[in-house]
Amino acid sequence: MATIRAQIASVFAANPIHGLRGGTGWHVDSVLRDIATIHHLTSDAFAFSLDEAKAFDGPGFCAHIIFLRTGQLSMVQPGHSRTLTPGDIFVACAWRPMTLEGTDDLDALIITLPAWWAMRRFLDGLAILPDLHIGTDYFAAPIIATLAGTLFDLPNGDAVSAAQGLAMIADLMRTALAAGIDTAKALPRWQGRIGEILEFIIRNLDTPGISAHDAAASLKCSVRTIYKTCAAQGTSFNAFLNEIRLVTAQYQLMNTTDRVSEIAYSVGFSSLSHFAHLFRARFGVSAKAMRQGRSTYLPH
């Protein structure tokens, strides 16, 4: 049972597993492709539930694009449920709890992406479908699935093709999800004011100098409301902003070959010395040292 849990955790990292039944044939092969990890999952019948991600800086704070190849997979998240059949594509937001139940002979490809990347590339906007589903009858669904399979099969080290393929999938996912939006059923992606603040930060992450005043103007509330909301979570707006920026920078350091300066600017820092100071204070090592010791610092 411990081995099965470890296999599940390799896909759904950091989110506690409850009520596990079956899954003795669960097997997963994983590859890193640019900012994503792609998992090829096969299994016999199983069922389990996952807690939502508890921290905005954890590996469980991610999105999963699930491509079902054979079998059936039932997905339940707050506000919706869906039974996937071969050819279906589903986006599971791992910051919300979910229950999964699969049948025998299940075969699926799962692309796991950090939430900030998925939100900026194809889950942008303040409202989304409560059910992020692309049916097999959508004309481009087979194209997206084929592209995902090609990306999984790429030779290791082909970084350019990996980045291009992932960008293409994101663009196609954006179009496909937008085509199915029913505005009458749209729901906020995040609950409460702190979620709206997080949404604002992620959408504007690469903008230097954003402030609580900018957030208040965007969210049509007072600056005092921004301060009080963050204080209620034991943080401040600037600390919250820096945390998201630093964790995003850490992820890029560990999963890309971009220069440290490029990463620092891409997450909104205008001063490299300021970035270096905050990074070392947050992680205990310099950005350069962390990159050089990837195998030590990568989560297992």
For residue 296, what pLDDT is reported? 45
CB 11 within 8 A of CB 39: yes
CATH code assigned at 214 = 1.10.10.60
Q: Is 50 found in the same domain as 160? A: yes
Instruction: Residue 263: give the domain boundaries.
Output: 190-297
List, for residues 135-153, the tens digit of each pLDDT value. 999 999 999 999 999 999 9
Q: Is 77 found in the same domain as 8? A: yes
Q: 53, 16, 23, 63: which is closest to 41 by C-alpha?
A: 23
Q: Is 266 found in the same domain as 169? A: no
CA–CA gap between residue 67 and residue 88 (Å, rounded): 6
Q: Is 65 found in the same domain as 109? A: yes
Q: Is 145 found in the same domain as 59? A: yes
Q: Given 169, 185, 201, which residue is the final one in a domain?
A: 185
Q: Which two tokens stand for residue 51?
A: 């807690």
Q: Is 49 found in the same domain as 153? A: yes
CATH code assigned at 100 = 2.60.120.10
Q: Is 289 found in the same domain as 254? A: yes
Q: Given 185, 214, 241, which residue is the final one in a domain?
A: 185
Q: Is 145 found in the same domain as 230? A: no
Q: Is 248 found in the same domain as 135? A: no
10-residue mean pLDDT series, the chain (300 residues): 83 83 93 94 95 68 93 86 94 86 97 85 59 89 97 92 94 86 54 79 88 94 93 86 86 82 92 93 86 55
Q: Is 169 found in the same domain as 95? A: yes
For residue 177, what pLDDT is reported? 86
Q: Is 27 found in the same domain as 146? A: yes
- The percent of residues above 70 in pLDDT, for the chain, comes to 87
For residue 270, what pLDDT is reported? 92
List, for residues 109-126, the tens digit of each pLDDT value. 999 998 878 877 887 643
Residue 266: how many CB atoms within 10 A of its CB?
Answer: 16
**Total domains, the chain:** 2
Q: Given 158, 185, 212, which residue is the final one in a domain?
A: 185
Q: Is 96 found in the same domain as 181? A: yes
List, for residues 82-97, the tens digit of each pLDDT value. 999 999 999 988 877 8
Residue 53: how many CB atoms within 10 A of its CB?
Answer: 22
Q: How many helices (H) and strands (E) does the chain have?
A: 12, 13
- Report which DSSP code applies to 222: -
